[in-house]
Amino acid sequence: MSKLYFGGDYDKDKHKTRTSTGQTTRDGAEAALRTNYQPNYTFDSYGIYAQGEWYIGAESGVFAGIREDYIETTAHRLDKERKQYTTSAFARYEHYLRDSTLYAGLGIADRIPDFWEVSKVDGMYLSKETNTQLDIGLSHQKEGLSANVSGFISYVQDYIC
């Protein structure tokens, strides 16, 4: 038996702020609170993905997927815009035993800087980071008892700090 899934999504993440620095009096603070919020960063994200499941008899299954995102980051106060692509993919093998499942998976995922990272000095120039991860584990379930043991190793390239 095989299954394929396809999809897409869109997300708009808007950050706004208002200036209240230098307000040392009650009147100054109240005046700052009456000012309108102004946009400082906007993230527009468009994503598409595909995922599949393939079963090899009753003993095992293979799962794989890929995702591509296009992200526009706008720094309104700096009058700068940045366009980036990110890619993520995974593959996982499962072997089914009587009451247990053994599995191993490999995944890779890109991540762009988030609001807190881009809002640092020169944050709009930060590169994306890439995480590669290997997962292995065992799940067991029998008569109301459920137990899981898993482990992973991860390597992050171009870590955003």
For residue 19, the model assigns a pLDDT of 74
For residue 20, the model assigns a pLDDT of 67
The pTM of the full predicted model, rounded to 2 decimals, is: 0.81
Determine the residue type at 153: I
**Which residues of the chain register pLDDT less than 70?**
20-23
Residue 153, CB half-sphere, CA atoms under 13 Å: how many? 1
For residue 21, the model assigns a pLDDT of 67
The count of other CB atoms within 10 Å of the CB of residue 77 is: 11
47-68: buried (b, 16+ CB within 10 Å) or exposed (e) per residue? bebeeebeeeeeeebebbbebb
